Chains A and B, each alone.
Chain A
Amino acid sequence: MKIPRRTLKADVPAVAMGDIAFNLLIFFVILARAQDDSHVKWQPASAAKLERTSNSKVSVAISNENKLYLNGQELGQAQLANRVSELLGDSPSGERTVLFKVHKDATAMYYEPVIESISEAGGELLHVLNQDTSVAK
């Protein structure tokens, strides 16, 4: 007599799916934060007639301690032009926007060389500012 083999059904527990997704998400959020400059301490200057910024690949910031950051990573002024140029690559005009975030009290000896480097790298400068509400429209 032939005895039929007993088959066992092995399923991945569906209960764990939520947790897996949760952990994956945290992983990607942390990765994304590595390129984020939200940890840079700066206060924007105010100006009138501002426009909404579009998404940009490059963000340059000067903090309240006059430190220079490119996409959230601290670097020296001498490296900036090359790094911005690398990040922008061969992007066409209109997609070469560089968000420029400068602390309102930073002095010209810090921000002017940075503006020059961004211009040298072919970046299109967009100063990130606060809307000046005191100016009457």
Chain B
Amino acid sequence: MRARRESKLLVEPAAVATGDIAFNLIVFFLVCASTQPDSGRKQELPNSEKTKTVQKDLKNIELSLSRTNTVVSLNGDPIKTSELPVRLKRVLDEKKSPEERIVVVKSKGDVPYEHWINVTSMVQDVGGSITIQREEEQTVIVQ
């Protein structure tokens, strides 16, 4: 009896489809990358013109920050950062209008962002609105 010849055909996937596969893979990864949202915190800063007017008429709450992240200065009194929400809330409760609830944040040039955002978040959480007061640059001519 004659044995049946075994067929040894090389079966390859269609090369035509490679482009389409690559296309679909890229679309998939592109969609994955674009749908990854960031999370963050909104911060409203009053207009500088408005703040200037307020500063003329009212005495704003002042918050001074230095490089040390454990201590802040509220209206000139040094307090622990952890105590800030309670102390600030007490001060803000006495203020009625939104203009009075503006907290002027003064930071030294070396204050890290992490400390700054931590403190300003506390201010927002207790109902204060933030405005930044930067150190004024002055040129002093020494004769």
Contacts and interface: CB of A to CB of B under 8 A. Distances in A.
B43 A107 contact: no
Given A108-B109, A127-B43, A47 B23 contact: no
A130 B41 CA distance: 10
Interface string A89-115: 000000000011011111111011101
19 contacts: A15-B16, A17-B19, A18-B18, A18-B22, A22-B19, A46-B114, A49-B41, A49-B125, A50-B39, A50-B40, A50-B41, A107-B113, A108-B108, A111-B116, A112-B134, A119-B48, A125-B44, A126-B43, A127-B41
Contacts of A47: 41, 117-118, 121
Contacts of A45: 113-114, 117-118
Contacts, number: 119
B112 to A, nearest CB: 5
Contact of B113 (A53, A105, A113): A105
6 tightest CB-CB pairs across the interface, nearest first? A18-B19, A109-B109, A45-B114, A108-B107, A50-B39, A108-B111
Nearest to A106: B113
A11 interface: no
Contacts of B16: 15, 18
B40 A116 contact: no
Interface residues of B, number: 37
A51 B109 CA distance: 29
A29 B18 CA distance: 19
Label chain A's interface by main secondary structure. Answer: mixed
A74 interface: no
Interface of B: 16-20, 22-23, 26-27, 30, 37-45, 47-48, 65, 107-114, 116-118, 121, 125, 132, 134
Given A22-B26, A50-B41, A108 B125 contact: no
Q: Which of A108, A126, A129 has the most CB of B within 10 A?
A: A108
A52 interface: yes
Residue with the greatest number of chain A CB neighbours at <10 A, chosen from B45, B47, B48: B45
User: Which one of B20, B23, B65 has the greatest number of beta carbons of chain A within 10 Å?
Assistant: B23
B110 to A, nearest CB: 5
Contacts of A52: 37-39
A128 B22 contact: no
Contacts of B45: 115, 119, 125
